[in-house]
């Protein structure tokens, strides 16, 4: 047993040493640099995630929040070993992964990538665990998911950065969702600092949508630096076939970001309207007109899927390169972007003086949703008398929100869980999970009844019941006091929890549950109104207009 332990210890030390050999990437002004030698870093990237983007050139942000299976590409050691030589042939120094499983191990793949000089940009979300544009919320479950990914990846020197969202707002009808993404960026930046991790940037990947592209760029960069993105990824597919710098609009986008004060890069590019793709835009992206503004880009996509964006086809252990592969490899091999050394570079760009004004074209206030605080939600839920039953169904939770928020003489019963990203008004418990939020609403209605009616006021056709409420003490008492009796106060205390899952690279693992208090919190489709900001407010209004009454009592 001692011999086995010594072998494991030696292997761990070897992995840590290998991970430490690669020079971390840091941000200074609008550029990326190798931390130790100060050389400017340009992304020569490839998106790397199999069977993940069904809608073509970018990952989807559907209205459904049901869990979806996905394959974590950097936990699959054999696939990493198979694919890294091909990534090297492409001159790749960065891969983008759209979803990782923080409960799995990543040491072997991340070490192999580091040995190959390849860095990773990781999205923090996953199917079923993301901010949905049609029904946005930033709650304690999502906080734990995003923090878990950071826990799993922060220990690797070749983790370049994280995306707090991908194309969440994609037209002028859903820009309010950007407030929730910006809150996630703010909180994950704070979490990295709180955990004393190496400074790793948190950014956002936006689509190239003409109606909102200017406002999106400004919104995520404006205001307090603690809330602003550290970098912006731009998903763009406008250079198709034998296009040009001006015909593609690359010149206009370069002009748009000429004064931007954080790094910008193409988070996805590679139009496939003309095939094979010859990637002539590579010469422009890494040429003298664009390199003063852009830090390279990430081609979509390594794997050939039904959307025909692949560079290779894979069958078991066999990789076959496609025509696109040869063209991209040749284009990347021929570039030689001009660069500046970090010591000689003095940033001069500044953040926008003001944020986009809320109006018909932009609906996201610069007052962001509160930081999810699981301690607060757990304290609140334990102090309730009337709560939903443990076996309550997803459909019943959605129905109960519509019912209870429409009962009584006003909507005050649900004021503590409503969120309005346009007005910047948020209930203190609007970031709790659905079960906790429903408990708050049921209990508020229950307490509003006179003593004669209370016996039947916590029934709702058998969907709720009373529990023995805990009397808040200590920190719980303080948190609930900050939230206020109606749940409309501002909670300034910071969350103390961590991601509760995953392993910090090179240093072992830390398991744990990812659920909140009370019941494990399921997430539901866009018709559910479990406190998702505008949705709850809309349902409350509808309840009063239609004269909704106590149909479940």
Q: How far out from the chain centre does Cα 139 lie?
A: 12
Instruction: Identify whether 268 is a catalytic site residue.
Output: yes
Instruction: Identify whether 50 is a catalytic site residue.
Output: no
Cis ω for the linkage preceding 276 (within 30 of 0)? yes
50, 167, 227, 436: the catalytic one is 167
DSSP code, position 129: B
Q: Which two tokens stand for residue 47?
A: 């998106």
Contact between residue 148 and residue 142 where contact means Cβ atoms under 8 Å apart: no
Q: How far out from the chain centre does Cα 183 lie?
A: 10
Query: Helix or strand or coil: residue 419?
Result: strand
**Edge-to-edge order in the sheet of strand 31-34:** 25-28, 31-34, 40-41
81, 214, 227, 268: the catalytic one is 268
Tell me the C-alpha distance between 32 and 27, whole Å: 5
Going by C-alpha positions, the residue among 296, 335, 294, 330 that lies closest to residue 311 is 330
Q: Is 552 exposed, middle or buried (0-12, 13-18, 19+ CB in 10 A)?
A: middle
List, in order, residues 6 or more apart from 491 with CB less than 8 Å away: 370, 373, 376, 428, 479, 482, 483
> Residue with structure tokens 């190496």?
198
> Residue with structure tokens 């992206």?
285
Query: Helix or strand or coil: residue 482?
Result: helix
Active site residues: 167, 268
């Amino acid at each position: 047993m001692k011999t086995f332990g010594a072998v494991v210890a030696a292997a761990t030390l070897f992995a840590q040493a290998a991970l430490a050999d690669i020079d971390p990437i840091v941000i200074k002004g609008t550029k990326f640099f190798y931390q130790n030698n100060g050389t400017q870093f340009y992304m020569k990237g490839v998106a790397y995630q199999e069977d993940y983007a069904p809608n073509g050139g970018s990952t989807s942000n559907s209205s459904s929040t049901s869990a979806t299976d996905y394959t974590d590409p950097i936990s699959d050691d054999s696939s990493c070993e198979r694919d890294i030589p091909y990534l090297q042939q492409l001159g790749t120094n960065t891969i983008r992964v759209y979803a990782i499983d923080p409960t799995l191990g990543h040491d072997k793949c991340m070490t192999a990538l580091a040995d190959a000089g390849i860095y990773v940009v990781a999205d923090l979300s996953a199917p079923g665990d993301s901010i949905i544009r049609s029904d946005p919320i930033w709650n304690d479950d999502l906080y734990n998911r995003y923090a878990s990914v950071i826990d799993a990846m922060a220990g690797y020197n070749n983790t370049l950065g994280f995306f707090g969202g991908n194309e969440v707002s994609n037209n002028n009808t859903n820009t309010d969702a950007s407030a929730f993404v910006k809150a996630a960026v703010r909180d994950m930046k704070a979490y990295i600092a709180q955990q004393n991790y190496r400074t790793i940037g948190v950014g956002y990947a936006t689509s190239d949508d003409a109606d909102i592209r200017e406002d999106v760029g400004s919104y995520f960069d404006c205001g307090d630096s603690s809330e602003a993105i550290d970098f912006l990824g731009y998903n763009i597919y406008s250079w198709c076939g034998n296009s040009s710098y001006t015909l593609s609009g690359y010149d206009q986008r370069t002009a748009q970001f000429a004064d931007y004060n954080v790094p910008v890069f193409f988070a996805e590019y590679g139009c496939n309207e003309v095939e094979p793709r010859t990637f002539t835009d590579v010469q422009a992206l890494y040429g003298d007109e664009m390199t003063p503004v852009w830090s390279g880009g990430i081609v979509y996509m390594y794997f050939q899927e039904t959307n025909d964006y692949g560079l290779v086809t894979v069958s078991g252990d066999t990789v076959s390169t496609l025509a696109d592969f040869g063209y991209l490899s040749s284009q990347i091999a021929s570039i030689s972007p001009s660069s500046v050394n970090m010591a000689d570079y003095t940033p001069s760009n500044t953040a926008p003086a003001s944020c986009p004004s809320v109006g018909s074209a932009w609906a996201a206030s610069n007052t962001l949703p509160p930081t999810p605080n699981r301690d607060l939600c757990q304290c609140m839920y334990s102090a309730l008398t009337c709560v939903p039953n443990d076996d309550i169904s997803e459909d019943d939770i959605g129905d109960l929100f519509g019912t209870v928020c429409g009962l009584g003489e006003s909507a005050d019963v649900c004021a503590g869980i409503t969120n309005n990203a346009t007005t910047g008004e948020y209930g203190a418990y609007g970031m709790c999970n659905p079960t906790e939020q429903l408990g708050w609403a049921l209990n508020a209605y229950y307490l509003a009844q006179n003593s004669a009616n209370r016996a039947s006021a916590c029934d709702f056709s058998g969907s709720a019941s009373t529990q023995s409420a805990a009397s808040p003490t200590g920190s719980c008492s303080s948190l609930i006091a900050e939230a206020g009796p109606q749940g409309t106060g501002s909670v300034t205390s910071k969350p103390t929890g961590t991601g509760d899952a995953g392993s910090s690279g090179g240093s072992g693992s830390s398991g744990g549950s990812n659920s909140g208090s009370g019941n494990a919190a399921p997430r539901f489709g866009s018709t559910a109104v479990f406190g998702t900001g505008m949705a709850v407010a809309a349902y409350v209004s509808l309840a009063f207009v239609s004269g909704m009454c106590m149909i479940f009592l």
